[in-house]
Structure 1
């Protein structure tokens, strides 16, 4: 049982660190096909330590020769980290063999002198990384390397007139099979890890491209509508028989449609790059008169009573223009959600380490499904809106380190709660 315990311990020490290194390192951007400089250093150190452990704990000791798995770390270093890494691990094995067992040092040198050129020739000639069965070739290489080691040991025994019995031959065959199965396990795990990482990165890349294409198509569609309307009115204006009063009406409509297209482009650019150029200490309560002056006429025209109540000294780390853009977007949405008018309240207060802003309308409200879709590209509860303003508002608040929560019931109004870290 001690043999199997030592063997399983060797396989565990070989497998766990090498597999974990692949999982952690290859999942980083740009390191899928090969390790970067630091990754090669890590895999070299891990393989060196694994080789030292295998040499310290051989699993076949009862037959006079110590058989261990130190060839596996050498192969892993050569195959997955490069020639320098493999040579370094080989040097570590030689140094440790000399320190640990001086008389057998000559045979370790002989084994490595035969195996290393063979491994290098295999790597140079096989082009194994570009062949579909990436597991078979390293596995066969491990088997052949173990077989070569066993044959050299056998020749040494015959030349030294040491008895070669059935037990020695059985353990030698088992030694080769252990190398084959261990290398198959390692390379199979590494291959699957690489394939999974590659698949996941391809999925992420395709999702990004899909979102980008949908966003571009939506922006083009939203801009085409006002441009088509403006073009139609310009064609009418080009006709000489159009009365003067009609020209003024059509001109106003053309300007309105162009402003609408400009607003869509501005919202898109804000969504694409929402980060404020300069973050500074900002008192939200100072925005109350600006917000009132800007939105009172818009609210009054729709029969909405805009009520703003903010505590004093509500300081956050933010940007004045971006914060105003966010509040205007959310307040306008609230006003437009109240077709029959009514009160719309904006309150702000400090709660612990948070500044809380609530925008509460008494409009048509939203269902749970509509709330979940808020802030997604080009989703709006009204036919006139592009949905970009809501996306921009969400992005701005998150840029400031805050969050937006929405509570709503159909025909009972909506409450937007903005939480921002206080300064």
Structure 2
């Protein structure tokens, strides 16, 4: 039973640190096929500790010999850390054995002197990293190394006239099989970890490319519409039979469409780079009067009554230009949602460590599906809108560490609740 416990402990000590090393290091940006300086040093450290533990705690102890798993960390260092890491681990094993057990030192030197050239030749000739599956070849290498160690041990015992009994042969066979299983387990876990990380990175790249292509196509489509209209009016203006009155009308339409295209580009740039250049403490109570002056004419033209109730002070860390752009977008959307007039309420108060701003309209409202799609690229509930303004508003609030929540019911109005960290 002690042999079984020692064996499981050796496998655990070998498996857990090496697998965790691959998980943590491979999650970081960098190539999956090559370790940088720090990764090599860390893997060297882990393999050295594992090898020293295996040498100190052998699981088979027949008379005159100790069978342990120190070959496994040496192979891991060679295969995944490079030749220098493997040689360094081998050197550390020799130094440790020399300090702890002098007579066994010559035996370890002999084994490593025979195995290391074989391992290097295997790595140089097999090109195993480019073969599939990547588990079979390291496993075969571990089995052959263990078999060679057992054969050398057997020859040594025969040459020294030490009896070779049945127990020794059974231990030798189990020793080779344990190396086979342990190396298969380690390389299988490492290969799966690397494959999963590679797959996840490919999925992330594909998602980014899909979003980029959709965004580029949407921007091109939205800009093409006003450009097509402007081009048509310019063609009409080039005709000599167009009256002066129509020329003025068409010119105004061309300017309007060009301004629309410019607005789309501005919204896109705001979404692509929303970071505020200058953050400063702002009192939303003071900004409410400026906001009221900006939206009041637009609201009056649509028969909307503006009601503002801001508790003072409501200080946040933000950029005035960006936060005003966000508030204008949200209030304008609320006004446009009330096609037959109504009331737009803007309420501000402090709740705990946050400043809460609520913008409520009595418009057409939205369904749950529409609410979930708010802030996604080029989605809008209005026919002649790109949806960029709402996307920009969400991005601005997130930039300042805030959150936007929406509650709405069809034909019952909509409430946008903005939560920002208070200063």
Is this a same-fold pair by TM over 0.5?
yes
User: Residue by residue, what CA displacement relative to the aligned partner does 1:163-205 show, whole Å, maximum 9, x if unpaired?
Assistant: 1122211211111111111111111111111111111110111
Q: What do the CA deviations read for 1:258-312 (whole angstroms, capped 9, x no partner)?
A: 1111110001011111111111111212212221221111111111112222223
Matched, 1:121 2:125: no
Match of 1:261 in 2: 261
**Separation in 2, partners of 1:338, 1:300:** 12
TM-score normalised according to structure 2 size: 0.98
| C-alpha distance in structure 2 between counterparts of 1:346 and 1:232, whole Å | 42
User: 2:273 is matched with which residue?
Assistant: 273
Structure 2 unaligned residues grouped into runs of 5+: none
Q: Deviations over 1:139-171 (max 9, x none)?
A: 111111111111221122122111112221121
Deviation at 1:319, TM superposition (A): 0.4
Q: CA shift at 1:39, angstroms?
A: 1.6
- How far, CA to CA, are the matches of 2:307 and 2:70 in structure 1? 77
Deviates more, 1:165-174 or 1:257-266: 165-174
Larger displacement relative to structure 2 (47-56 or 57-66): 57-66
Match of 2:39 in 1: 39
Alignment of 1:308-387 (within 5 A): 308-387=308-387
Q: How does 1:120-269 map to 2 (within 5 A)?
A: 120-269=120-269
Which region of structure 1 is more displaced relative to structure 2, 234-243 or 386-395? 234-243
Q: Distance in 2 between matches of 1:230 and 1:153?
A: 89
Q: How far has the Cα of 1:95 moved from its partner?
A: 1.2
Structure 1 residue 57 and structure 2 residue 57: aligned? Answer: yes
1:86-116 CA-partner distances (Å, limit 9, x unpaired) = 1111111111111221111011111111111
8 Å contact from structure 1 (residues 355, 422) kept in 2: yes
1:109 corresponds in structure 2 to 109
**Are positions 1:298 and 2:334 aligned together?**
no
TM-score, length basis structure 1: 0.98
- Cα distance in 2, alignment partners of residues 251 and 312 from structure 1: 48
Kindly provide the CA deviation profile for residues 326-345 of structure 1, in whole angstroms up to 9, marking residues without a partner as x. 00000110011000011111
CA-CA distance at 1:357 after TM superposition: 0.8
Residue pair 2:75, 2:86 contacting (<8 A) in 1 also: yes
The answer to whether the 8 Å contact 1:48/1:92 transfers is yes
Shift in Å, 1:35: 2.3
Q: Secondary structure at the match of 2:355?
A: strand
The residue number in structure 2 matching 1:96 is 96
Structure 2 distance, partners of 1:60, 1:34, is: 36
- Say what the alpha-carbon RMSD is for the aligned residues: 1.1
Residue of structure 1 in register with 2:284 after alignment: 284
Q: Is the 8 A contact 2:374 2:390 kept in 1?
A: yes
Distance across 2 between alignment mates of 1:155 and 1:245? 110
**2-side partners of 1:360 and 1:5: how far apart?**
68
> 1:209-266 CA deviation, whole Å, 9 max, x = no partner?
0010000000000000111111111111111221212111111111111111111000
Corresponding residue of 1:395: 395
Deviation track 1:328-368 (CA, whole Å, cap 9, x = no partner) reads 00011001100001111112122221111111100000011
Number of equivalent positions: 423
What secondary structure does 1:309 align onto? Answer: strand
Structure 2 match to 1:406: 406
C-alpha separation in 2, matches of 1:311 and 1:184: 67
Give, in whole Å, the separation in 1 of the partners of 2:274 and 2:120. 53
Tell me how far apart the structure 2 counterparts of residues 218 and 135 of structure 1 sit (CA, whole Å): 46
**Contact 2:62-2:168 within 8 A present in 1 as well:** no
